Amino acid sequence: MTLNRSSINRILWLFALFFPCAGIARNVFSEDINAPDLASRSHPAVVEGEPVSGRLLRVPLPITGNVDRRVIAQIQHLVGQLQSEPRVAGRRSVLILEFDPGVSQFGLGSVFEDALKLARFLISPALDGVKTVAYLPRSIGGHALLAAMACDQIIMAPDAVIGNAGAGHDGDHPIDKTILSGYQQISKSRHTIPIELAVGMLDDKRRLLKVKTDEGTQLVFASQLAKLKQTRTIDQDDTGVIFPGGQPAFLAGDQARKLGVAAHLVSDREALARYLGVSRQSIQIDPLAAGKLKPRMILVDRYVNPRFVETRLAMMNEAIENDGVNLLCLWIDCKGGDLGAITQLTAYLAELDANEVFTVAYIPEAATGTAALIALACDDIIMQPHAVIGGGEKSLSPEDQADIDFTITDVIIPNTVRSYALTAAMFKKNFSVYQYRNRRTNLVRYFNEAEFMQLNDRQDWERGEQITTPGTPLKLTGIEAENVAVATALVDEFSGLKRKYGLLDDPELVEPSWVDHLIGALASPGLGWLLVLIGMAGIYAEVQMPGIGVGGFLATVAFALYFWANFMNHTATELEIILFVVGVACLILEVFIIPGFGIFGLGGGIMILISLILASQTFVLPRSDSDLRQLRDSLFIVGGAVVGLVLFSFVLRRYLPHTPILSRLMLPAMDARQRQQTRDESPFDYSRLLGQIGRTTTQLTPSGKASFANELVDVISDAELIPEGADVEVVEVHGGHVLVRAMES
């Protein structure tokens, strides 16, 4: 019978399973000094030829609860896919396990039994024909190391650290024979991490040395050194300390590479794909690996502001936590929005664990401007052929550009498989991106010049055509986006997306509550303009028809709704509300209490206008295209309301007195007896001035002072602003109130 690699693995696996103590007795407690020659440990570089099939699966840390069972089920699903695909001659398909510690430090807390169960599955015959790679983009520790050891290769980020496998074990929870047996079994089965290194990282009391003997470099525990000297010649000048003992044992990326533990060091998934010789699509998360999908749809079809993001985040969190949703589909048809709100939504989507919640951006028309960041943060992008993505903003302030650069480099790229060059080019006018083809593997990638110069194997890459146009941010149609691997797939309509993900029905739409709809409607330019118009018209009507109260009531309600909606929409703050209140107070002072030169009236009017404009936007001075669009809407609200007020005042003065019903709202004309009573009750009797002509000594806005035959009198203009030094005629007198009209020149 011929013993191949698979048969030998089965024998070793079964032997270690039924006779674990024998292995430990020989390799640990007897302190076997026949350590492997480190010089012989090497890993093959990337293999030439066509890209091989590959899949990527995130392993959430710590491995506890049902994590091991869920990961094993997902591995079985992905292995089934890989085994059903055509193979490249002489090469195995690749399954990448990305160990993700999440927010915990090193992902500590993995349960030994759960980690061992996963590790034993990884070395079992179920994975024959598939090459398993443990990808460590961040540092890991604890018993999660056991599962990484069970893979064929370990690939780390340069700044990642592994070790402290015995974390959590102390005098009350010692490292017993079962735990040592598990590490021994996995180390012997895969040889990914030598036994001495594995035991040294598990038991921090051991001092591990690297010594050079007449037969090569070996790893040996300090307690073994004397015995080794009896059979080997040791170079004392070339003896180094790997683990000093008495403290947690760790290996940094470069040290792991030199010791042959790490096959390669990569900075991101794209570099990982290049090294392994797999396509970019191979390192994307497969949403179907999680089992039955529970989808939800979120519409991003309007200007994205902080209120929009706040409500959508709350709805998505509720759907995930309460309803078990694991597929979020964002229907994006948007040209941008508030940058702070968009980056907040982008970070939320990018940082979702794709194994738990898979995100898909569906673009039927356009995801341009800063809205493209939302799509780029999703795991998959599905586009219609003539839809567009990217294009950037026409103008961005240095601060906004810095925020976008940070979002791309620190949020999108680390959490997705996006090309940095193509992503950054969508928001920069002069950012040259070229197509490169690897001469050995035939892989195609896209780099800018600075990124290309950082490649260690750049001599293997041949530069092709330029993808970008100088002076213009990159904008891609669906067809172009698929060609450069920005878009995952193209569909003619939404039903194509459902077929791709095996959805039988349309996903349930996650919608805001009626309060959210009301806030959005009242904060929109259309209804915002109407509220401001009603408020201004109410104030004007109250001045023209004092004592009725209808105008004042309508104005109070309208402005209260306007500022409430914009406050809840995160565009209005306490500053705008204070400006408005103080402005109204200044107008009241000017009209009714201290009429004079118009300082209070003019200042109050300016404060009211400024508050109304600022209440519907998130900035003071515009710095980008989206800011200019917001400013345009704000000016439309206030400017449109002012024009509407002029028309309203014309109609009010011209037609209201002659309207049978509405004329009742106006104050009735006083008869002779009432006029005489008013004069008798008034401390001032100015009835003698009726019809007289005088000259203003202050500007009337609308109140001020005028002189009649050297008598200085407080007067009120009948409608318009009258400048100082103008001739006026007294047209009405009500007690101490003198109403004047400007004389025609």
pLDDT score, position 17: 39
Region 518-526: what's the mean pLDDT?
Answer: 75
Identify whether 86 is part of a domain. yes
Closest-CA residue to 509 (of 291, 300, 287): 300
> What type of residue is 205?
K
pLDDT of 582 > 80? The answer is yes
CATH of the domain at 200: 3.90.226.10
Q: Which two tokens stand for residue 742?
A: 């400007």
pLDDT score, position 6: 42
Report the percent of the chain where pLDDT is more than 70.
Answer: 83
pLDDT of 39 > 50? The answer is no
Tell me: do 83 and 151 sit in the same domain.
Answer: yes
d(CA 742, CA 745): 9
pLDDT score, position 89: 72
Report the percent of the chain where pLDDT is more than 90.
Answer: 22
Pairing of β 208-213 and β 234-243: antiparallel
Tell me: do 269 and 353 sit in the same domain.
Answer: no
Tell me: do 641 and 721 sit in the same domain.
Answer: no
pLDDT score, position 32: 43
Q: What is the mean pLDDT of the chain?
A: 80
Tell me: do 545 and 565 sit in the same domain.
Answer: yes
pLDDT score, position 474: 94
Quickly state the pLDDT bin for 15 (edges 50, 70, 90): very low
- Output helix, strand, coil percentages for the chain, rounded to the nearest 5: 45, 20, 35
pLDDT score, position 133: 95
pLDDT of 80 > 90? The answer is no
Segment 184-227, tens digit of pLDDT: 899 998 888 988 898 888 888 888 888 887 777 788 788 878 78
Segment 140-160, tens digit of pLDDT: 999 999 999 999 999 999 989
In angstroms, what CA-CA distances link 188 with 27, 34, 204, 719?
Answer: 10, 13, 20, 97
Tell me: do 627 and 681 sit in the same domain.
Answer: no
Region 409-424: what's the mean pLDDT?
Answer: 89
> What type of residue is 48?
E
Single pTM value for the model? 0.56
Tell me: do 121 and 270 sit in the same domain.
Answer: yes
Peptide bond into 702 cis (omega under 30): yes
Identify whether 260 is part of a domain. yes
How many folded domains does the chain comprise?
4
- The answer to whether the CB of 164 falls within 8 A of the CB of 250 is yes
Give the residue numbers spanning the domain of 682: 672-742
Query: Read out DSSP for 269-327?
Result: HHHHHHHHTB-GGGGSB-GGGGSS--EEEEEE-S-B-HHHHHHHHHHHHHHHHHH---E
d(CA 619, CA 617): 6
Name the DSSP class of 96. E
Write down which residue in 665, 682, 697 finishes a domain: 665
Tell me: do 275 and 344 sit in the same domain.
Answer: no
pLDDT score, position 551: 77
d(CA 728, CA 697): 11
Query: Looking at per-residue confidence, does 481 or 13 come out higher?
Result: 481
Neighbours of 741 (CB within 10 A): 15
Work out whether the CA dihedral 611, 616, 617, 622 comes out positive or negative: negative
Identify whether 241 is part of a domain. no
Neighbours of 647 (CB within 10 A): 11
